[in-house]
C-alpha cells in the first residue's frame, strides 16, 4: 500500500462518519469518501500539513454539494424521506466494553431525522462544529462564508433541533422499559396501554419510497398514532402468512427489524427506530424502502419480541 493510500485509510472511518451524519445515507457517504480519495490522490500531499483536517474539509464540501442537489431530488420523493438505518444485532452480556463505547459514539436515528429539517449550510455547520469540534473558521472555509456566518448557521441549527417534538434523551435501560411496553401494547391491541406510553405530541413517520406500503405523511398526536399502530399490526402483522421480528440496535439505540410474508407472495422488510424521552415514546420511524435496507440483516427465524436489559 502506498503512503498516500495508508494515510487516507487511517482516516476513512472518520470521513465516513462525517459524511453519513451529513447525508443520512451510507451509500452516499461512501460515494463522498471515494470522491475525497480521488481528490487526495491528485493533490500535492507534501504541502498538506494536516491530512485529517484537509480530508475532512474536502469531504464536507462534497457533502454540501450533495445536500444542495438532494433537496431538489427529495421534492419529487414519494412520501417522507428517512435516513438509511445502521443496524446491528444486540450485543451479548459479554460484549467488549470498547464495542459499547463505539456504539455510544453513533448518532441516533432520531437526530438524523431531525437534521433533515435543516438547510444544507446549517447541517454542515452543526455536524462539523457540534459533532466533530471543527473550529468555526474552518467551517467557514467549507461553506465559503465568514466565521461569524458559520457560527450563525450552527446556532440556528441548534434552535431548530431543540424546538421540535422529537426528543430522544433515554439511555438503553430506559429504552428497554419503554419500547417493551410499547411493543406489548401494540401486539395485544391494548389501546389504553399504548396511549400510556406515547407522548402527547408523538409523531410516526414511514418511508416506503413509493414502493413499500407506508403513509404519505407523518402522523402526529398520541390518539392518532395509537390507532395507526394498532391498525398496522392488525393489517400487516396478524394477517400475514408468516412473520419474523427481532430486537436490534438501530444507530446504537434499541429498535426492531421485521419481515412479513403476505398471502400474495410479497415479502416486506422494515426497521423500526424510536425516540424516547422521560418515559414515553416521542417518535416512531419505520424504514420500508427496499433500496435503503440492502445492508440491513433480516431477522432471525421466529417472533422474538423480548428486549433483554442492555449490558452494563
Residue 116 or residue 20, greater confidence: 20
Compute the radius of gyration of the chain from its Cα atoms.
21
Residue 262 confidence class, pLDDT cut points 50, 70, 90: confident
Q: What is the per-residue pLDDT for 45? A: 86
H or E stretch including 112?
Answer: helix 109-115
* Orientation angle between helical segments 136-143 and 51-74, nearest 10 degrees: 50
Residue 4 confidence class, pLDDT cut points 50, 70, 90: confident
Stretch 25-52: mean pLDDT: 92
| pTM, 2 dp | 0.86
Please say if the pLDDT value at position 84 is more than 60. yes
Contact at 8 Å (CB) between 33 and 15? Answer: yes
The pLDDT tens digits for 89-145 are: 987 654 444 444 444 457 899 999 989 889 999 999 999 999 999 999 999 999 999
Q: What is the per-residue pLDDT for 303? A: 54
Grid cell for residue 138? 474552518
Q: What is the per-residue pLDDT for 311? A: 43
Amino acid at each position: 500500500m502506498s503512503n498516500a493510500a495508508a494515510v487516507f485509510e487511517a482516516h476513512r472511518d472518520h470521513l465516513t462518519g462525517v459524511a453519513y451524519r451529513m447525508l443520512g445515507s451510507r451509500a452516499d457517504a461512501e460515494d463522498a469518501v471515494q470522491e475525497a480519495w480521488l481528490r487526495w490522490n491528485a493533490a500535492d500531499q507534501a504541502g498538506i500539513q494536516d491530512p485529517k483536517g484537509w480530508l475532512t474539509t474536502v469531504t464536507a464540501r462534497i457533502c454540501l454539494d450533495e445536500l444542495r442537489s438532494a433537496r431538489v431530488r427529495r421534492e419529487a420523493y414519494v412520501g417522507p424521506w428517512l435516513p438509511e438505518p445502521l443496524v446491528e444485532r444486540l450485543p451479548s452480556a459479554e460484549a467488549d466494553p470498547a464495542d459499547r463505547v463505539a456504539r455510544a459514539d453513533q448518532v441516533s436515528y432520531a437526530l438524523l431525522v431531525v437534521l433533515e429539517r435543516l438547510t444544507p449550510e446549517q447541517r454542515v455547520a452543526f455536524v462539523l462544529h457540534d459533532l466533530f469540534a471543527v473550529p468555526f473558521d474552518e467551517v467557514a472555509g467549507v461553506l465559503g462564508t465568514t466565521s461569524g456566518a458559520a457560527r450563525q448557521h450552527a446556532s440556528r441549527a441548534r434552535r431548530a433541533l431543540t424546538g421540535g417534538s422529537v426528543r430522544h434523551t433515554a439511555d438503553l435501560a430506559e429504552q428497554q422499559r419503554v419500547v417493551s411496553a410499547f411493543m406489548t401494547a401494540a401486539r395485544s391491541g391494548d389501546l389504553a396501554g399504548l396511549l400510556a406510553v406515547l407522548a402527547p405530541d408523538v409523531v410516526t413517520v414511514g418511508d416506503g419510497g413509493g414502493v413499500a406500503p407506508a403513509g404519505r405523511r407523518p402522523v402526529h398526536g398520541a390518539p392518532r398514532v395509537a390507532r395507526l399502530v394498532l391498525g398496522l399490526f392488525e393489517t400487516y402483522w396478524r394477517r400475514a402468512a408468516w412473520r419474523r421480528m427481532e430486537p436490534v440496535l438501530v444507530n446504537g439505540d434499541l429498535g426492531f427489524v421485521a419481515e412479513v410474508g403476505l398471502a400474495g407472495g410479497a415479502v416486506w422488510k422494515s426497521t423500526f427506530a424510536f425516540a424516547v424521552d422521560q418515559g414515553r415514546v416521542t417518535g416512531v420511524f419505520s424504514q420500508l424502502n427496499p433500496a435503503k435496507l440492502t445492508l440491513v440483516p433480516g431477522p432471525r427465524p421466529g417472533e422474538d419480541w423480548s428486549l433483554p436489559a442492555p449490558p452494563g
